[in-house]
A and B are shown apart, each in its own frame.
Chain A
Amino acid sequence: MEIVLVSLFNGLVYGMLLFMLASGLTLIFSMMGVLNFAHASIYMIGAYLAFTVSQLIGFFPALIIAPMLCALIGAAIEVWGLRRVHHNGHIAELLFTFGLVFIIQRGVQMIWGMLPMAYRVPPSLDFPLFTVYGANFPAYRGFMLLVSVGMLVATWVLLKKTRVGLIIQAALTHPQMASALGHNVPRVFTIVFAGGCLLAGLAGVIGGNYQTTEPGMADAMGPIVFVVVVFGGLGSLSGCFIASILMGLIQTFAVVINYSLFDLVKPLGVTLPGDNLLTEILTIPVARIGALLPFALMIIMLLFRPRGLMGTRDT
């Protein structure tokens, strides 16, 4: 029971972190049709910038400054890079963001070095919030939940209740019409791209000290974020939310389940002969293949429902 509760909390925290990354990616994709491979790299930049800024002036200013810097970087990428390759088609845009991953990865290593950064939880948030069955729940995780829920609400209000949000939604579905009505659609694109990078940067700030701030963090996070976006359905924020929480829970629960497929049929008196690849697949505990599950789920989803959980169009 205690394992279930603790894993539930941790899964929620991780899922919300995923959502913060994935929501920006979904916004960018549904608006511009560009799947930004470098999104997780922006997340990494956010974490590194937060580390540097928090060393200079403290963690809470970094919570605001680092995402802003990420948004600026995003705007620069959109204006000077993506816009130039746009007329070469979607493959060129994919290739462009793919190349960015390399440059950002090595650039970060060049500026901050190869070793993990000592980016720690601020002391004011470094205490146990409450105790479940003897296990402490750190206050920082509660803070992460708070920030991500706050961001979720803020994004929702911005998109649904403000004039800017309406224009963004209009440009999302009917770019030509919005342009004909006198809205500067390319500038809306830049704003959306920068906004997505802002969210990624924010995720980096609060995720950097939850996980470790090191040059491999983009590679660790990137694929799983894509899984979330595709699983939830490209272009759907609510699907993205469900998928993030689901993947967060799956990944945290998988590491504590020590059963295998074979354990299901063991009570029936079945025995496995020999020691080969098949028996290994059947007897491997779920905990060891936990990292594999999200990708398997994504492939199954795309096979049977190519638009994803709540996608509005085929991918």
Chain B
Amino acid sequence: MNGRLGQSWVWIATLIAAIAAPWMFFNFSTGRHSGFVLSMLSQMGMMSILALSYNMLLGQAGLFSLCHATFFGIGGYATVHFLTMAGAGRLPLPLELIPFLSGLCGLGLAIVFGYMATKQRATAFAMITLGIGELMTTAALSFHHFFGGEGGVKTNRMIDHSLFGLKYASSIQVYYLILAWTLIAALAMFFLTQTPLGRMANATRDNFERAQFMGYDPRVVRFLQFALSGFFAGIGGGLYAITYEIVTFDALAAPLSANALLMAYIGGTGVFGGPILGAVLITLLQSGVSLMSNSWLVYVGVLFIGMVIFAPQGILGLVMAHRPIVRAGQFGRLAMPYALVIVPSLLTVFGFVGLVELTSFLTIGAAQGKTLMLFGRKIDVHAVLPWSAAAVCLLGGIAWLRVEARSFRRVWEKLMAELKPRRSAA
């Protein structure tokens, strides 16, 4: 377990960065925090919990769930009602502990639905969860008492009851509350991976018949894993409700479930921290790139499919693959091949982005009355030149990239082959 300790500095650095992040965008002349940055950071926290809890299913148990947002949403809806009750003095609980209650709500619902869904695995499991997700979304739109219909339910988070005497009027206080809960939830989920349950979840993922032979019921393992992941998703939903003070059916609808999947997968399902990286990355894309481009989802989709085809281990998994090379001090030998790969990759990306943006400005952009700007110059989307330039970049980039990728792979495999005997000897 030396490796885990060796990694702990990464975690501490992440935590310090998360604590310091709001102060880096502090506006000293007005004495205010940047609202945009704070809400983005808060979003990252919640989404990290959601993605991590999703990875308890996809990465650790090999279950492809499509209703994860259901538990997130139910935690959110319940929290709105808890806050309203607490505000009226009927729930004697400080705000800091309310997310725990939301987690219990997620757990309760996950027990009910998990009992149904975990009878199956693989494709059938995915189908049942799809049905559950759609069922809950439609229910949220039809029933007004609990879900508030299309308008959702609103509340006020300033319930005047806090462990630390805080009012939670400013979003910086809420951000630190989210950060604390994210840390607690992440630690708890990491701890769970070390328990026999976490290990058995991996075993049923990899070879469920053999896990059965060992005397474990894979269904019970799936069920427990599903229920617990619902618990953590519920915590995330509770934080969502506290942050926005309004919960609508968006919080449990299919796009959020899909987001959880994208974040966990792009970040890397095989490494514990992968979903956090994915959550941060996707949230950045969502709030940053969506300001500049209408088609950010295309980039996310292409990134996702590219990872499914070429790098199923995710971004963090790719990074981790370099560890034996770095440890052997051989990383320098990869520097040149990397430099050679980067140039055509940039060309490909430039060409692809160009084509996507040109197409989208032809239709959506035109409808919004925007014009495409590049290097401070207007670009005429009806002219031939930009289109052909982008196409040449894309096609040339791909052709070049294939050549370079082949030679990169040769170097990589040679390195790996050299390192293997050394590792097994040690």
Contacts and interface: CB of A to CB of B under 8 A. Distances in A.
B402 interface: no
A243 B14 CA distance: 52
A99 interface: yes
B132 A102 contact: no
Interface string B122-156: 11101110111011001100111110000000000
A284 B135 CA distance: 16
Interface string B330-373: 00000000000000000000000000100110011001000000
Which of B119, B123, B131, B363: most chain A CB closer than 10 A? Answer: B131
Given A35-B123, A110-B364, A295-B138, A96 B309 contact: yes
The size class of the interface chain B forms with chain A is 35 or more
Contacts of A85: 308-309
A99 B305 contact: yes
B143 A281 contact: yes
Contact of B298 (A110, A223, A234, A280): A110
A291 B308 contact: no
B258 interface: yes
B313 to A, nearest CB: 11
A106 interface: yes
A107 B352 CA distance: 13
B143 to A, nearest CB: 6
Given A90-B123, A277-B143, A277-B145, A111 B131 contact: no
A284 B141 CA distance: 12
A113 B363 CA distance: 5
Contacts of B301: 99-100, 102-103, 106
B135 A299 contact: yes
A110 B360 contact: yes
A150 interface: no
Contact of B142 (A84, A103, A289): A289
A109 interface: yes
Q: What band does the interface of chain A fall in when counting residues whose beta carbon is under 8 Å from B?
A: 35 or more
Contact of A295 (B131, B146, B302): B131
A310 interface: no
A89 B238 CA distance: 35
A86 B376 CA distance: 45
A106 B309 contact: no
Contacts of B386: none
Interface string A190-207: 000000000000000000
Contacts, number: 143
Contacts of A230: 124, 127, 131
A298 interface: yes
A284 B301 CA distance: 39
Interface in B136-184: 138-139, 142-146
A280 B127 CA distance: 29
Given A95-B64, A113-B363, A114-B367, A295 B134 contact: yes
Nearest to A90: B122
A39 to B, nearest CB: 13
Instruction: Give the interface SS of chain A, mostly helix, strand, loop or mixed.
Output: helix
Interface string A230-243: 10001000000000
Contacts of B138: 289, 291-292, 295
B124 A113 contact: no
Residue picked from A92, A96, A296, A299, most chain B C-beta under 10 Å = A299
B364 A109 contact: yes
Contacts of B312: 88, 92
B261 interface: yes
B135 to A, nearest CB: 4
B258 A98 contact: yes
B297 interface: yes
B284 interface: no
A35 B122 CA distance: 11
B304 interface: yes
Nearest to B310: A84
B300 interface: yes
A105 B305 contact: no
A276 interface: yes
A296 B124 contact: no
Contacts of A107: 298
Given A94-B126, A226-B130, A280-B144, A103 B359 contact: no
Pairs of residues from A and B, 7 with the lowest C-beta to C-beta distance, nearest first = A102-B301, A315-B124, A113-B363, A295-B135, A99-B305, A103-B301, A277-B145
30 contacts: A33-B123, A35-B123, A91-B64, A94-B126, A95-B304, A96-B305, A98-B258, A98-B261, A99-B301, A99-B308, A102-B304, A103-B302, A106-B295, A109-B364, A110-B294, A110-B359, A112-B363, A113-B367, A230-B127, A277-B143, A280-B143, A291-B138, A291-B142, A298-B127, A299-B116, A302-B119, A303-B119, A306-B120, A314-B120, A314-B124
Given A95-B308, A110-B363, 9 more contacts: A99-B301, A99-B308, A106-B301, A111-B359, A113-B367, A114-B363, A115-B367, A280-B143, A303-B116
